[in-house]
Every structure is written in C-alpha cells, then in structure tokens.
Structure 1
Amino acid sequence: MLRPVSTVAVSLALAVFLSGCGKEQAEEQRPRPVMVVHPQSAEAQLETYPGEVRARYEPDLAFRIGGEVVKRLVDSGDQVKQGQVLAELDPKDVKLKLAAMKAQVTAAQANLKLVRAERDRYQQLLEKQLVSRSQYENFENLYQAGEARLKQVQAEYNVSANQAGYAVLRAPRDGVISRRMLEVGQVVAPGQTVFNMAADGEREILISLPEGNIGQFSIGQAVRIKLWSRPGVFLSGKLREISPAADPQTRTYAARVAITENDGKPVDLGQSAQVYVSPAGDIPLSVPLPALTADGAQSYVWIVDPVELTLKRVAVTAGPYGEEEVPILHGLQESDWVVSAGVQLLNEGVKVRPVDRDNRPLSLAGGE
C-alpha cells in the first residue's frame, strides 16, 4: 500500500516542479519593465549666475539748466518716442535773460551803425586831406570794436535762446522710462538725473561676477542664457563688458552679457535670467547617477532601441559626478532613451517594456 502512494506523491511533486519551471521560463520571456529618461542639459555642472534683462543703452536724462519743475508728462514704465516732451522747467528766468540779451544785440547794432557812419565820413575827409590819418584810424578802431561787440552779444543771445529750449526735456530716442526721480515743484540743478531710460533695441543680461575667480572670464567669452519665462529654452550670448573695478560693497564685478542668437521672441525688460558659463561655451548632457555603470575604467549606460524595444550597452565619457546627476561628455544624444535605474541587472538584447517615473507605459517610437 505504501509503494503506490509514494509513486503518486513523486509524480505530483514532479508535475508541480515542471509547472514552476514553465512559469519561470514564461516570466523570463515576458518583456521586463524599465524606467527610461531622455538625457538632460547638465546645467548644475556649470557655473551659473543670476541676472536681469536690461537695455543695451540706458541713458540718464537731465536738464542742462537748473530751475523749478512745472510739468512732468511721463512716469516710470511709460513708452516714449524720440523728441517727446518729458518734463518742463519754469521758463520765466530764461525768457527774461533772452529778452535782455536781445536788447543788448539791438544796442550793439545801433552802436555799430553809428561808428560805421563816422568811419566812412572820416575816410572821405582823409581823402580830401581835411583830417589827419590818426583821427581816421581812431574811428576805424571804434568801428572794429563795435563790430566785435555785436558778434559777442549775438553769440550770448544764441546761448540764451538755446537755454530757453533747455527748459524742455525731450526723449533722445525711442524707449521706456525705467525710473523717475522728479516731481512738479522740485528744484533741480543742471545735470541732475531726473529720468532713467531704457532705449529700444538690443537687450542684455546684467550679472555680477565673483571677485575670487574674475580671471576666468574674458570679453567675448561664449555663454548660454535661460530666461525664467521660457523653461528649457537656451539662448546664445557672449560677455560684452566686464567692469574694471569691483563694487565696494558686494565685492563683485558687474558684467554685461549680449544676446547673440535669439529664438525670435521678444525679450522683455526686467525678466529674470540665468547665465551658464563653461570653458567651451556648450552645455553637456547629463543622466541620473543610477543610470551609469562601469566595467573597469570604462563607463556605460543602457539605452533602449525605440523600435525593437531591446537593450543596448553604450560606452560613454562621464564628467565630474554631481549629487544626483553626472554629465556625459561623449557618447549620448538628446534623443536617446536611457535606463535610469536597475542597470546592474540588465543584459544586452533583452526585450523591455519602457515606463516613466510614474510607472506609466511609454511609446518610444511615437516620440513621447
């Protein structure tokens, strides 16, 4: 009785074992899920400097003469056109001075007319030998003095006329009033800044460079620019200007970055920006740290064929490791799909099922 029972038990155990092997083989043949990502720009590996979008030309506007402000026609943020009136001073004093100079011009003209007539009369008398040459020369000198006096007061009148026009402050070119520093009733001195203007046209990024490594920067050095309003979009630029002296309070050097290659969209004043500086001016790609594996001194990553959905090990050149990412200097393209975790358990040519960080299936051939 025992022998038949033992035979049946062995048969059942063998069947269960074979069934388990079949399941393992089926599971091995089933595509394995792998988390994949695209390589990203290795921004964290570059020196980054925050900045602000500024105009290429930012003139300080001031009256050429002093006086009391009687009109203020624009405010901060207003768009202005070339020649537009911005503010006016009380013109009473300059008009009075202009009238006084005009009276002096009239007096000088009358005096010149008188001495000219006397000179001409004495010239006729000299020709008839009725007066001496010294008498004639005296009136000739009076005439020349009168002529010089007229030229002097005429020039002074022109200056006064110009000053009358200086009582009106006009925009030197198209732009935006970025700052206002006057009010009606305020008395301003000649040359005192009353408006800051951001001229239309070229835009730049104003950044501050640290004193410790200012020697690493040079005029014309290529940089990359990213605006906070356009995440993921990089603009090309170069260092156009570096201040020759450090700020006495912050101990940093002000620098201007010119935008050399834009994407066609306007860059608004005051926008926040990040300027990325690297020796070559290019931003390398980066992958998460778990995506990188090594065989001796050679580093590798696993990429997924978007059509066949099979694994391929690719040799890469890695840069200095970061806390979460590592830059890949050579070996990867932005369009590659890289396995970002569990790379130590992968094999060449294995069929996989790509998923994202939320374990959602990805269609790589569809470009998702």
Structure 2
Amino acid sequence: MTKLSNKFSQLSKSSKIWIIVSVLIVLGAIFILIKAKKAEENLPTAKTYSITVSTLKLEKGKVSLTLPYLAQTQNDMDVNLASKIAARVDYVKNSGVFVKKGEIIAKLDATSIEANQKSIESQLAAAKTALKNLEATHKRTLELLAVKGASIEQSEMEESKIAELEAKVESLTQNLNDVTNTLTYAIIKAPVDGMISKNTVNVGDMIMPGQPVATISASSDYYLMLYVPSNLKVYNVFVQNKSYPAIPLNTTMNGLTAYRVNVEPGGMMTGERVEVNVEVFNGEGIKIPFDAILNRNNKSYVFVKENEKATPVEINIIQDGEDGAVISNNELVGKEIVVAKQDILLTLLSGASIKTEEK
C-alpha cells in the first residue's frame, strides 16, 4: 500500500486528476445499475389477458359438401347442314332466324335433275308399252303354237325380248327412284327446332356435294359436360340451386374424368360455360369450418376447449369442400373446438388462455 502511495505521489498533477475522474465514473455507473435493478424489481407484474374466441360443439350427422366448377353446355341435336348435290343456290335463310322442324332452310336449282327425271319417265313409259305389246303378241304366238300355227323359234325369240324389256323396265324404275330421291335434296329442311347460328352460302352461289350450307343450334336437349379429377367422387351437381345426377361416361380428357349432367332447358347455348356446384361428399360425418383448422407441417389440428385452455388435437380430413371439411375423428363428437383465424390459432399453440365469446 505504501508503494502504491509512493507511486501515486510521483505522478503528475494531471494524471492524478484523470485517475480520480475515472474512478468516480466507474463508481457512478455501478450506482446507476444498482438503482435501475431495484426500480425494475419494484415494477408491477404484467397482466395477461385471455383471448376471446368462438367455439363449436362437434356433432355427427348428415353432411353434404360441394366444390365450385365450370361445366360446358353441349347438344347432340345441333346439326350442320350440307348439300348432297351440285347445284346453284336459289334461296337460303339468313343466320339468326329461329326455324321449326321441317321448315325450308335452302332451295337449290333442280332444273337439270327435273329434266333427267322427265326423260327417264318417258323412257320407262315407252318400255312398259313395248313390254305390254310384246306380251300380248307372245300370248297369240303361244295359241298358234298349240295348233302348229307358229314355230318354237319365234316363241323363244319373243320370250328373250320380253326378258330384255322387263330388265329395262326394272332398271329405268330404279333410275327414276334414284333421280326422285336426288330431287328431294334440292330442298334442304330443318331436322330440329332451333336457331340458324351460321350461314355459309348466298343466293346465286354454286355449291358442290358435301359443301356446308348452314348450322342449326337446337333449342332443346341440352346437357352439361363436366370434367373433374379422377380421384374425386361426384354425387350430384347443383345448377341454379337445382340438383341433377352426374352420369359417368367412363372416359377421360387430359386426365380428368368426364360426367354428363342432363339439365332442364333454360336459355342455354352450345359451348357456353356454366358455373355449377359439384357435390363431393354426401353421408354421415363430422363437419367443421375451415376457421377451426390449423395446418402445420403437413398436418391438420383443431383446438379442443378444456376449461380456460385450448388443446391442439390432430385430425384426419376425409374430404374438404367449399365451406368446410369432414373429419373421421369420432372421439371429438360432443367436444367444443375453437373457431378463429389462423393468427389466433397460432397464438393458442403457446398455451394462451381463452375466454368463450358471449352469444
């Protein structure tokens, strides 16, 4: 201690002042820390508040779940009319016109067909007359042959000519039927009630066999085509709040299973997209809202109310829909679960206390 005093006395005046100030600063800092610690110890304990939540008592019963989808309107009665003959267009209805079944859509120039028909009719009439006369002659020949007034050669020659004329009459009759049928193609009629949605020819156009003339969109027998994932079971389809059965077509498109939905007519158009609700679950089950489910690490949980605490319980989701999900946890029937937003459910994981919302 004496040595330190001697060394201190040997220091210059400024050094002594600096050492004294440093010591005072350190002592002041220690005093401030001690005072702050005492003040902190005297602070009141922070209050914890319970989180107000809604709860839902789980019950098992009849459940229906739906998902929104888009279906496409189709109609097998829609027709594309085409010409079956080569002719000039004399008349055609405009697009946008509603037509009834059997109404004339277009008329084609049939002058050449009619001329051919008359020519065949004349040939047929002549052949029938010749056949009738030859049959009468042959009848007399047979009578004369019986009394040896005619030769067998003459009789056989007449029979040969009769056979030729019969074949000619038969051929001309077939030709006349063909021409008569072809003549009907000159008038194109609507096979169904509907709207002429497309017109592809004009009056005066020369068209060939197979060339399109008009398209008719039928006014009835519409149905919806629905495509859903193959792992999704479809029970019914709701269209404008009406339920219709979904008929599986046992075919797929781009990996999606096809269903046909026969709907009541209601101003639909072919190719129109219609919003529908597909029923994906129908049966006994436990339904819970999505606000009751917390998803963490590919697992799903609900929070069961136990006094003032909420205990997380892992659940098994059978099927989810637009407004909730169905679970298979029968042990939760009769339990109250918390219904809240995801941030509140996450807070409950820390063990926060809860208070039931007053109803």
RMSD of the alignment, in Å? 5.1
TM-fit CA distance, 1:32: 4.6
- Equivalent-residue separation in structure 2 for 1:286 and 1:42 (angstroms): 14
The DSSP-based 3-state class of the residue aligned with 1:53 is strand
- Equivalent-residue separation in structure 2 for 1:281 and 1:52 (angstroms): 22
Letter in 1 for 2:192: R
- Equivalent-residue separation in structure 2 for 1:58 and 1:149 (angstroms): 43
Q: Which residue pairs with 1:137 in the alignment?
A: 156
Letter in 1 for 2:143: Q
- Equivalent-residue separation in structure 1 for 2:205 and 2:231 (angstroms): 44
Q: Match for 1:103 among 116, 122, 130?
A: 122
- Equivalent-residue separation in structure 2 for 1:198 and 1:188 (angstroms): 22
Q: Which residue pairs with 2:247 in the alignment?
A: 238
- Equivalent-residue separation in structure 2 for 1:54 and 1:203 (angstroms): 6
The DSSP-based 3-state class of the residue aligned with 1:266 is coil
- Equivalent-residue separation in structure 1 for 2:314 and 2:256 (angstroms): 42
> In 2 relative to 1, CA 42–52 (structure 1 residues): closer, same or farther, beyond 3 Å?
closer
Q: Which residue pairs with 1:59 in the alignment?
A: 79
TM-fit CA distance, 1:136: 0.7
Is residue 225–residue 273 contact of structure 1 (8 Å, CA) maintained in 2?
A: no
TM-fit CA distance, 1:128: 1.8
Q: Deviations over 1:193-233 (max 9, x none)?
A: 32333444432334679xxx9xx599xx8476566xx4x77
1:268 aligns with 2:292: no
Q: Which residue pairs with 1:127 in the alignment?
A: 146
Is residue 71–residue 184 contact of structure 1 (8 Å, CA) maintained in 2?
A: yes
Is residue 70–residue 185 contact of structure 1 (8 Å, CA) maintained in 2?
A: yes
Q: Which residue pairs with 1:307 in the alignment?
A: none
Q: Match for 2:180 among 157, 161, 178?
A: 161
1:43 aligns with 2:67: yes
Q: Match for 1:152 among 160, 168, 171?
A: 171
Letter in 2 for 1:317: N
> In 2 relative to 1, CA 189–314 (structure 1 residues): closer, same or farther, beyond 3 Å?
farther
TM-fit CA distance, 1:91: 1.7
> In 2 relative to 1, CA 127–187 (structure 1 residues): closer, same or farther, beyond 3 Å?
same
Alignment of 1:240-319 (within 5 A): 240=249, 242=251, 252=254, 257-260=259-262, 262=263, 266=266, 268-270=268-270, 271-273=272-274, 287-288=289-290, 291-293=292-294, 299-300=301-302, 317-318=316-317
1:187 aligns with 2:196: no
TM-fit CA distance, 1:40: 10
**Greater radius of gyration (CA):** 2
The DSSP-based 3-state class of the residue aligned with 1:130 is coil
Percent of aligned pairs with the same amino acid: 18
The DSSP-based 3-state class of the residue aligned with 2:316 is strand
Letter in 2 for 1:66: A
> In 2 relative to 1, CA 295–107 (structure 1 residues): closer, same or farther, beyond 3 Å?
closer
Q: Deviations over 1:117-154 (max 9, x none)?
A: 32122122212211211211111121222122112212
TM-fit CA distance, 1:176: 3.5
The DSSP-based 3-state class of the residue aligned with 1:155 is helix
Is residue 222–residue 265 contact of structure 2 (8 Å, CA) maintained in 1?
A: no
TM-fit CA distance, 1:328: 3.9
The DSSP-based 3-state class of the residue aligned with 1:61 is strand
Q: Which residue pairs with 2:100 in the alignment?
A: 81
Unaligned runs of 5+ in 1: 1-16, 247-251, 304-310, 355-368
Is residue 319–residue 326 contact of structure 1 (8 Å, CA) maintained in 2?
A: no
User: TM-score under structure 1 normalisation?
Assistant: 0.60
Q: Which residue pairs with 1:3 in the alignment?
A: none
TM-fit CA distance, 1:189: 2.0
- Equivalent-residue separation in structure 1 for 2:304 and 2:267 (angstroms): 40
Which segment is superposed worse, 88-97 or 167-176?
167-176
> In 2 relative to 1, CA 258–293 (structure 1 residues): closer, same or farther, beyond 3 Å?
closer
Is residue 223–residue 238 contact of structure 1 (8 Å, CA) maintained in 2?
A: no
What is the aligned residue count? 291
> In 2 relative to 1, CA 171–325 (structure 1 residues): closer, same or farther, beyond 3 Å?
closer
- Equivalent-residue separation in structure 2 for 1:196 and 1:337 (angstroms): 60
Is residue 53–residue 339 contact of structure 2 (8 Å, CA) maintained in 1?
A: no
User: TM-score under structure 2 normalisation?
Assistant: 0.61
